[in-house]
Homo-oligomer: A and B are copies of this chain.
Amino acid sequence: MIFKRKFRVHWVDTDIAGVMHFTNYFRYFEACEEEFYRSLGMDLNFLKEEQGVLLPRVEASCQYRVACRFNDEIEVALSVKEVGPKTLTYEFQVLKKGEKAAEGLVKCIATTLDWKVIDLPKEFAQAVQSARNRTI
């Protein structure tokens, strides 16, 4: 399964080199992840407020291939790489006119609100896992 969302590169995303600053790709990864949870009827706020669970990132990486520029319409594609008992790993691609502009990985771990590592909430993990197995 690949979950895709379109975004538009904003003026504030750019830097003096005229392209999207490298840190902002991670912002779009996360925006896509948020939309992915919403598509499953869940959200990070629910996890936090109702279940007392946070999903801090333990790893984030990105390889940059083609610079994205102001006004570019980019498509961020999320795929679920792994649903561990305590961790979630996502892979991302940033597409610009069908071309791969960047790709990355983000790994999160489930913790309590005071940052003790725990198992992912079962229902949440199952929803992500079944999205992963879906063929689209």
A residues neighboring B (CB under 8 Å)? 8, 10-12, 14-19, 21-24, 26-27, 30-31, 34, 38, 43-45, 48, 54, 56-65, 67, 69-71, 115
Contact = CB atoms under 8 A, between A and B. Distances in A.
Number of copies: 4
18 contacts: A11-B15, A11-B16, A12-B15, A12-B30, A16-B45, A17-B48, A22-B56, A22-B60, A23-B60, A43-B71, A45-B69, A45-B70, A45-B71, A58-B64, A58-B65, A59-B64, A60-B64, A67-B115
Given A57-B22, A61-B62, A27 B10 contact: yes
Chain A at the B interface: SS class: mixed
